[in-house]
Structure 1
Amino acid sequence: MSLIKFLEILAILAGAFSGFAEARRKRMDVVGIFTVAFITAFGGGTLRDILLDERPLFWVAHQEYAILIFLLALVAAPAIAMMRKLISERLVVVADALGLGLFSIVGVSQALEAGMPIFIASMMGVITGIFGGVLRDIVCNEIPMVLRDGRPYAICSFAGCWMYLLMTKAGIPGDFSLWTSALAISLFRLVTWHRGVRID
């Protein structure tokens, strides 16, 4: 398995978990939990593939991704119900930050592979990173987190994507660039959220 596919799987799991947690916090049933987890895990990558004219969509080409979310939803519904008191906004933010970092770097890397110019590639990374969370919040009847909390979110993704692009341009090994940039995005998001850094 290539590193980019491994990162994509980790991103899907992080996105799905934030979907599980938010859906359960809204007291949805198992169908709702699966639906929210599915769109959170696959929303950003789907929009990226549509914009890049990639067919089939990544989760259609790898049906095991969809099956994994389905099976996890069956387990997550009762498990999260038992841990309801532990499901807080903080937990959703942490899972969302991990998904943001991983999805963003997967997105920018795949856009580069598709031959996109570097600025477009960076925007594809941002779209991949944030759009699943936007859909999650809309379905859960919330103003999307990227638009409401006033803390750096898309900016974290954009900065991390450019970090990856510059590291790649400098000839730094790809594996190191992928991990470092993804981690930087997640940490930047968590630190700014924790310290209450605002851009409004």
Structure 2
Amino acid sequence: MHPRLTLALTIMEALALFAYAISGFIEARTRRLDAVGTFLVAIATAFGGGTLRDVLLERRPFYWVEHQAYLIAIFVMSLFAPTLLKMTSRLLSERVLLAADAVGLGLFSIAGTSIAHDAQMPWFTSVMMGVLTGVFGGVIRDVLCNEVPLILRDSRPYATCAFVGCWLYVLLDYMNVDTVYGVLIATAFILLARLVTFRFNVRLPH
């Protein structure tokens, strides 16, 4: 793998994790949770989808065990969550956070599909594993905060973008496109699909 592509994927991965963690911080703050509750909600949001994927695929060690540095960073961030959220609201606009969340959706979904595909799962199963990886952290976050999960009450495409993007990745892999480029192309598709549908308020039929 080219060093620049490796660096790009690492940066995208970190951006995705912290975007998901910050969405957990925001929800925890809304619910007036203490530092312990904030940490639990943040790690559930950031690692919930990947953990479910690893459980279903019997994959060990879990992602957050392999990447302890991310876990420690989120722990430290949770101790200063109120200050962090104030800084975030000043430095980052809602559009930037939306874009970061879309990157997270894309990268996690494609990573989940890739891992399932490497484990010799059927195509459809691999795609569903990818979608679960991308969206399930948010589902756990909402359940912990006693909310109906967002993907069940917001008709704007979210899981749908991940579903289509994961199929694109499978197609690119079938066409023998280099894995790194397949990940970048499919992730970019999910990112753009999410931003475009959000910008034009596209909604799925009820």
TM-score range, shorter chain: 0.7 to 0.9
User: 1:32 aligned to 31, 34, 37, which one?
Assistant: 37
User: 2:195 aligned to 187, 190, 196, which one?
Assistant: 190
Cross-structure match for 1:19: 24
User: 1:165 aligned to 170, 190, 199, which one?
Assistant: 170
Structure 1: distance between partners of 2:35 and 2:149: 22
Cross-structure match for 1:134: 139
Structure 2: distance between partners of 1:30 and 1:94: 27
Runs of 5+ in structure 1 lacking a partner? Answer: none
1:26 positional shift: 3.5
Contact 1:40/1:133 (<8 A) preserved: yes
Letter of the 1:153 counterpart = Y
Structure 2: distance between partners of 1:98 and 1:57: 21
Cross-structure match for 2:61: 56
Cross-structure match for 1:121: 126
Which stretch shifts more, 117-126 or 15-24?
A: 15-24
Runs of 5+ in structure 2 lacking a partner? Answer: none
Alpha-carbon spacing, 1:112–1:9, altered in 2? closer, same or farther (3 Å)? farther
Alpha-carbon spacing, 1:96–1:136, altered in 2? closer, same or farther (3 Å)? farther
Contact 2:54/2:62 (<8 A) preserved: yes
1:108 positional shift: 0.5
Taking the TM superposition and a 5 Å limit, the aligned residue runs for 1:85-124 are 93-124=98-129
1:84 positional shift: 6.0
Q: How many residues align?
A: 200
1:126 positional shift: 0.5
State percent identity of aligned pairs: 51
1:53 positional shift: 0.8
Structure 2: distance between partners of 1:166 and 1:64: 34
Q: Does 1:66 align with 2:71?
A: yes
C-alpha deviations, 1:75-123, integer Å up to 9, x for none?
A: 4332214666899976764443222111101101111121212111111
Structure 1: distance between partners of 2:54 and 2:99: 26
Cross-structure match for 1:42: 47
Q: CA RMSD in A?
A: 2.7
Alpha-carbon spacing, 1:146–1:13, altered in 2? closer, same or farther (3 Å)? same
1:15 positional shift: 1.6
Structure 2: distance between partners of 1:134 and 1:87: 24
Matched residue of 1:13: which SS? Answer: helix
Letter of the 1:107 counterpart = G
